[in-house]
Chains A and B, each alone.
Chain A
């Protein structure tokens, strides 16, 4: 094969074989022991620490950092994991720059926060490398709970329930557990199959039966689950993708960014993943950035993100945007797609400039056209596959959907659609379920 960055169309192997490993290497390499101790020493051990308040899972950050500083990373890991069982993945994918590290007093004072995310990774990696699972199950309660969806919310819920002594069955429609950790995270953020290893490690608690390839509403009905189990948790995520609502959207070459990201994550050989020469990504979130950056890393010649509003409204953080531009991605703010043009395939996208006004976003008369043999839609995901009879409000399920039914993660109301939020919601639902099943307070 002799493709290059200049080969027209959507083709694989644009780069020399050796480039792929470097391009998709760990984006933020782990700290070694000494680096971690130096980084930990910068923590002021704040009283009622702002970082802890900013963490959706309320990890006791000053305490775990002090445990690293004193040479006890396993204890640090336990501090993290007792609040957030997916602390390993969150250390990799959390937008710490808008959470804990944004409010770190050293960020406020010096513009250089304590490296909380990297320290968390150091602690959790150290423990997981030893294959140790630090938690044990309480005495069996005899209660059985079904968890639908093996993403961060479902797995966090399942783990907490198992720890409390319940028997848990997790049902997952895809072939692998992990949800977006497995299928939705940029490859360079979760290297060496970390998502799968974390699931295996998490399941070491015992008492969790995982069934993959089972789709709710097709292979099994919610009513049956409610009848067979003492409680049900739905963590079904957002399986649908928003449409562009622009003409030409159905042309070949127009794809969902989430599918591209998932395909790349699952590819055994990244050189085999096809990518356009001119890639246009439409959207403003992390999915847009992940799709654009990885297109570039696969060898696309030109990659452009087009977001309909201004830079400050973009839900991908400033850090993510900067990462994209440093990788060579161009970001155009304030333009919306009007039409995808082309004959048999997408060839270009026509955009109109926009104006953000109190009445909403207005398309202006002026615009531009970008060459595009591949167009990624990254304008948000939607709830799909909701079992009949459940109330959907503001596009989401309620956290409590029935006597025996709880919901959490991206599919449920409340919080941002982040891994860490999903973990918190799964964990908290488990606590509620436990209380309901055992009559225990809280």
Chain B
């Protein structure tokens, strides 16, 4: 069994699965249950400044979208940071860390955007013996209206400034948690790096309205007839998160900064994908909120089995392995030609590939009298839509045309690697001549 032990910016944990700062990590009782279940680390639910704690709504805090059998696909929340007194949290953090030395315990922080506030909170958490801090520049609801959370995360200059304060007033490792509610995720990551952050974590939740009550004409979740945008998370956001992680991992300015991957991690496979795209570890919330803490056991066994199959003995061998293969569109090989192929043995004759191609793509599938579906190579542009809509796994595959073969669609012979920067139709290529 592969060793899953993780060392993320000097913070050690028995596995790379941390619980993200969120409702599941608000109290000692939850955190201890998580550790008992096997979680490698926990980012404690965000602490605010000393003083009267924030208050939460007393109506629904969550909204959701579901698959047909009520499988939860996406979750939205409007819960604020911890609404428990700061002293209670600090005391519990201290107790938990003393009891669970081998587990990571990070404190998430969110205080007003001024030096004194940050200096103060950092001093207050100093003797908890926590392993590090995570700066919550991500929460998109509620606190953002008060100039915190994503309101900071959307202004790179603020990120840099606050990160500097944190590094100045604390010896703890510092993770900056980024909001995805921004046009270019690289900018806040660069700012964090300039400010001296040890790592970034992403993504925080995405601004969202999960649904609208069509009788009351109110967004969900609805509180007394009104709703507000909340933070979206869960399996549905994973593709967005993967891209943002990859952008930071492959950007020249931010390459190499440790990343804690967050966003819809539900299974070992999700975690492995984040790690392959450059995340040193992952943080999980919605999967635990949906199924309970036990899900980590599948993540541990799954990742371990995968690493064994691949011959990896340490998670660092996986981390970033897919990053070199993330590139810009312009560098994709235009001479890589494939054609869809339908396995007649596997085909169940539903006709979805046919109608998708016929109605919405390239009219490249023929339907025979006996519902036999075949690809017309002379029309197929290899878009992959048929593969995506086919209900049978591996029934339709994309088959590569070997070099030297003529593509019946274009009449061109398949040649060596060539991309858009070299293509005669590219005006920039002509301009350079």
Contacts and interface: CB of A to CB of B under 8 A. Distances in A.
Interface residues of B, number: 15
A47 B350 contact: yes
A50 interface: yes
Nearest to A38: B69
Interface string A40-53: 11001111111000
A105 B68 CA distance: 20
A69 B355 contact: no
Contacts of A40: 68
Nearest to B389: A44
B52 to A, nearest CB: 44
B67 A105 contact: no
A105 B351 CA distance: 10
B402 interface: no
A53 to B, nearest CB: 10
Contacts of A220: none
A394 to B, nearest CB: 30
Given A50-B371, A109-B392, A44 B350 contact: yes
B295 to A, nearest CB: 23
B214 to A, nearest CB: 10
A106 B391 CA distance: 10
Contacts of A44: 350, 352, 391
B69 A105 contact: no
A37 B70 CA distance: 10
B349 to A, nearest CB: 6
Contact of A47 (B67, B68, B351): B351
B351 A48 contact: yes
A46 B351 contact: yes
A46 to B, nearest CB: 4
A442 to B, nearest CB: 26
Contact of A108 (B68, B348, B352): B348
Contacts of A105: 348-350
B354 interface: yes
Q: In the complex, which of the residues A34, A38, A46, A106 has the most CB atoms of chain B within 10 Å of its own CB atom? A: A46
Given A50-B371, A109-B392, A41 B68 contact: yes
B69 A41 contact: yes
A18 to B, nearest CB: 36
B330 to A, nearest CB: 37
Contacts of B348: 105-106, 108-109
Nearest to A107: B348
A108 B345 CA distance: 12
A58 to B, nearest CB: 17
Contacts of A48: 351, 367, 371
A345 B70 CA distance: 61
Contacts of B69: 37-38, 41
A105 B355 CA distance: 16
Contacts of A47: 350-352, 354-355, 367
A303 B68 CA distance: 44
Interface in B40-85: 67-70
Q: In the complex, which of the residues B68, B352, B367, B392 has the most CB atoms of chain A within 10 Å of its own CB atom? A: B68
Contacts of B355: 47
Interface string B367-397: 1000100000000000000000001100000
Interface in A59-90: 69
Contacts of A49: 351
A46 B68 CA distance: 18
Contacts of B367: 47-48
Interface string A360-382: 00000000000000000000000
Interface string B129-160: 00000000000000000000000000000000
A69 B392 CA distance: 21
A47 B70 CA distance: 27
Contact of B68 (A37, A45, A106, A109): A37
Nearest to B354: A47
Interface string B320-349: 000000000000000000000000000011
Nearest to A106: B348
Contact of B352 (A37, A46, A69, A106): A46
B8 to A, nearest CB: 40
Interface in A385-423: none
Nearest to B373: A47
B267 to A, nearest CB: 21
B389 to A, nearest CB: 9
Nearest to B351: A47
Interface string B275-293: 0000000000000000000
A46 B67 contact: no
A125 B247 CA distance: 54
B349 A50 contact: yes
Contacts of B391: 44
B349 A108 contact: yes
25 contacts: A34-B70, A37-B68, A38-B68, A38-B69, A40-B68, A41-B68, A41-B69, A44-B391, A45-B352, A46-B349, A46-B350, A47-B352, A47-B354, A47-B355, A48-B367, A49-B351, A50-B349, A50-B371, A105-B348, A105-B350, A106-B348, A108-B348, A108-B349, A109-B348, A109-B392
Given A46-B349, A46-B351, A47-B352, 8 more contacts: A38-B69, A44-B391, A47-B351, A47-B354, A47-B355, A48-B351, A106-B348, A108-B348
Interface of B: 67-70, 348-352, 354-355, 367, 371, 391-392
Interface of A: 34, 37-38, 40-41, 44-50, 69, 105-106, 108-109
The 5 closest A-B pairs by CB, nearest first: A41-B68, A47-B351, A47-B355, A109-B348, A46-B350
